[in-house]
Amino acid sequence: MESLHFGITSGKHGTAANHLAYITRDGHYAARNDLVTTGHGNMPSFAADNPMLLWKAADQHERRNGSIFRSYTISLPNVLTVEQLIDLAWRQARQLAGIKPFQFALHLSRTSLQGELNPHVHIVICDRLPDGIERSPEQMFKRYNPAHPEKGGCRKDSGGKAPQALHGHMTAQRKAAADEINAALAKHGHALHVDHRSLRERGITRAPEKYLGPARIRKMTTEERAAYVKKQRGEH
């Protein structure tokens, strides 16, 4: 059974457009050669044909102390074909976003240690909830007006939630992501199974592997890399 890698970060004011350029390998990130495809959905009318307009508007008009987006990184099984990975990436993005605006990028790189394919999807979701009211880019990110929604901005999905509720929501998201992956694996005839739970929740006492990072891996000798890979696999 494989562990699910499911990372989530909150985007600060002024970082959305650059973050989207990074994951979609746009501009000065275009030299990276691991992008498979990108996609988007639920965009407001002003960004329907160019999603970058939404992220630039968020950078410009969202309140300075407010988060602009949620960015998810989900590892995908390397036993699936590219076409199957694209379908799974779309499913993951739509499931996480619901009705909210989203954009995703599917990457297919190789691991630094073993040279294995490492498919993963980056999903960026705007925290503003569409409500059917047509708004300008500036108005969309204004404070929500519950008495007169048409006079304010779109409501923020995370607004007013207690930390415990947010934690429970993230746990549910992790499980849903794992269920979607396992459904794809079963559909295409693979016995592999991923688990959304932590090692402790699964009753496994070993400590999780420390993240080394590409720079440290490059400095390792061939023998050190081989020893580290054997340790990861539980070999002696």
Q: What percent of the chain has pLDDT over 70?
A: 79
Q: Lowest-pLDDT range, 53-62, 153-162, 177-186, 199-208?
A: 199-208
Q: What does the pLDDT read at residue 111?
A: 67
Quote the CA–CA distance of 24 and 35 in Å, as a whole number: 7
pLDDT over threshold 70, residue 113:
no
* 233 — pLDDT class (breaks 50, 70, 90): very low
215: pLDDT confidence band, cut at 50, 70 and 90? Answer: low
**Nearest alpha-carbon partner for 46 in 137, 152, 132, 128:** 137
Secondary structure tally for the chain: helices H, strands E:
7, 7
Count how many Cα atoms sit within 13 Å of the Cα of residue 32 in the half-sphere of its side chain: 18
Alpha helices, H only, 15-129: 16-23, 52-61, 82-97
Is the pLDDT at 45 greater than 90? The verdict is yes
Q: Identify the band that residue 195 occupies on the pLDDT scale cut at 50, 70 and 90.
A: confident
CB 130 within 8 A of CB 73: no
Q: What is the mean pLDDT of residues 160-188?
A: 88
* pLDDT given for residue 224 in this prediction: 60
Q: Which two tokens stand for residue 175?
A: 């499980």
* Catalytic residue IDs: 22
Mean per-residue pLDDT of the chain: 86
User: DSSP letter at 225?
Assistant: H
Distance CA 141, CA 122 (A): 23
Class of domain 2-205: alpha beta
Q: Considering the chain, tell me which residue range(s) the CATH 3.30.930.30 domain(s) occupy.
A: 2-205
pLDDT value at residue 167: 79
Whether 85 has a pLDDT exceeding 90, the answer reads: yes
How far apart are alpha carbons 173 and 157 in whole angstroms? 15
